[in-house]
Amino acid sequence: MFSGTVVFRVADGRPHLRIYCNQNRNDVAKGNDFVAPQVVYNTPDWAALENDPILQKVKTYLQNGALEASITVDANGTQKDLKVLLEDPPGFRLGEAFRKIYATAKWIPGFRNGHPVDCTFDYAFYFKVWYIGFEHYGGGGQ
């Protein structure tokens, strides 16, 4: 799983494509050399998607959704903090479930100017509910 942002624009009649390894609005806007931490795929508790009673309402209503989180990871890749900034749709306790799933997450550390750093970064998570279970997308563009 990889999280990043793709920016395409036309300036002076010429196309410009930029691929950023982060979703932080300020870093993308400034074109900073910042690679956000990337989750090690098998470390979140993905089984919680299927077994968590919080998510039964989501399954019952076949409700798709999205979350935006602010996550702090140290230079060794250890998650230090996770705050849910947005839950859509509200009222399904998706943020609570997301915190449970990502409580065990390990990360490849973030890099700024080529060096591992402690950092707080934006992380988007999208999911789609099927009759047979959940499909999830960690990361995503803006």
Q: Enumerate the domain spans of the chain.
A: 37-138
Q: Are 123 and 3 in contact (CB under 8 A)?
A: yes
Whether the pTM exceeds 0.75: the reply is no
Residues 97-137: tens digit of each pLDDT: 889 889 999 999 999 888 999 999 888 888 777 655 555 55
37-138 fold: TolA/TonB C-terminal domain (3.30.2420)
3-class DSSP state of 47: helix
Residues 31-71: tens digit of each pLDDT: 777 888 989 988 988 777 677 777 777 777 777 888 999 99
Q: Where are the alpha helices (DSSP H) in the chain?
A: 25-30, 47-51, 56-61, 94-102
